[in-house]
A = this chain, B = another copy of it.
Amino acid sequence: MARQLYELCGKDPEILFSPYCWRSRMALAHKGLEFETVPWRFTETDRLAFANWEKVPVLVDGEKVVADSWAIAQYLDDAYPDAPSLLHGRPASYRFITSWNDATILANVVRLIVSDIPAVLNEEAKPYFIKSRAARFGMPLDEVTAGRDDRLPAFRASLQPLRMTFASQRYLGGEQPDYADYIVFGGFMWARCVSPLQLLEDNDPVREWLERMLDLHDGMGRRARISGAEATPR
């Protein structure tokens, strides 16, 4: 059986926009492992019952079923120790950047792009998404993202620790990327796939890192389909 990754997609199954699924996609590519995407959409929880889990990513690798991006990363290092390492035997050392990413990047990006997401969803997922996210934020999605251009400078400023790091090395992992890079990259792919908003300025060192990331693994990120485009890179 081919290796399968259940991934969140839009109405168009080629639009893959979950930041967590991007972590696992890039992790599989980092390991040099081929896989096929099984498109999964919000509300299809029944289809994940075999994994005893309700969210994607879920990896099916032969007999093995692994749910959750964090567990998938650890599983891949354990199961494929001869392939390039993701966590270098120190998963605990990647918890801080995961926490920083979730508190700083994901928590802010969602407030910049969430109103763009319904347009990519299938008809069944759309009302679920709009209702659940509006409830989470206590307001309609358009209001969540209102004035987002004014909030970009503060978002960009919050990335200063990345900028300082890239002053002395090409990737968070050093000369080569590792799982820390994929964690942060996921948030940017989320925005790239669903929103026209340009999160980073052209001359930003974070942007330069992002361009390197988009090129990795035969341009896996750069080739990803984005909302409103037909697989055209931008």
Interface residues of A (CB under 8 A from B): 88-93, 95-97, 99-100, 102-104, 160-165, 168-169, 172-175, 178, 180
Interface of A is mostly: helix
Q: Which 4 pairs show the lowest CB-CB distances between chains A and B?
A: A92-B174, A99-B164, A100-B161, A99-B161
B93 touches A164 (CB 8 A): no
B165 touches A103 (CB 8 A): no
Complex-state Cα separation, A18 to B178, whole angstroms: 32
Given known A88-B88, A104-B161, contact A174–B93 (CB-CB < 8 A)? yes
Partner of A96, one of B88, B92, B103, B172: B172
A161→B88 contact, CB < 8 A = no
Closest B residue, CB atoms, query A168:
B95
Q: Which B residue sits closest to A172, measured CB to CB?
A: B96
The listed residue (B100, B102, B178) touching A93 by CB distance below 8 A is B178
Given contacts A161-B103, A164-B102, whether A173 and B97 have CB atoms under 8 Å apart is: no
CB neighbours (8 Å) of A95 from chain B are: 165, 168-169, 172
CB closest chain-B residue, reference A178? B93
Does A174 lie within 8 Å of B100, measured CB to CB? no
Known: A161-B100, A164-B103. A90 touches B92 (CB 8 A): no
CB neighbours (8 Å) of A90 from chain B are 88, 90, 93, 174
Across the interface, do A160 and B103 meet the contact criterion of CB distance under 8 Å?
A: yes
Q: Report 28 cross-chain contacts, Cβ distance below 8 Å, ordered by A residue.
A: A88-B88, A88-B90, A88-B93, A90-B90, A90-B93, A90-B174, A92-B169, A92-B172, A92-B173, A93-B93, A93-B172, A93-B173, A93-B178, A95-B165, A95-B168, A95-B172, A96-B97, A96-B100, A96-B162, A96-B165, A96-B180, A99-B161, A99-B162, A99-B165, A102-B164, A103-B160, A103-B161, A103-B164
Judging by beta carbons under 8 Å apart, are B180 and A93 in contact? yes
**Which of A88, A100, A160, A162 neighbours the largest number of chain B CB atoms within 10 Å of its CB?**
A100
- Which residues of chain B come closer than 8 Å to A161, judged between CB atoms? 96, 99-100, 103-104
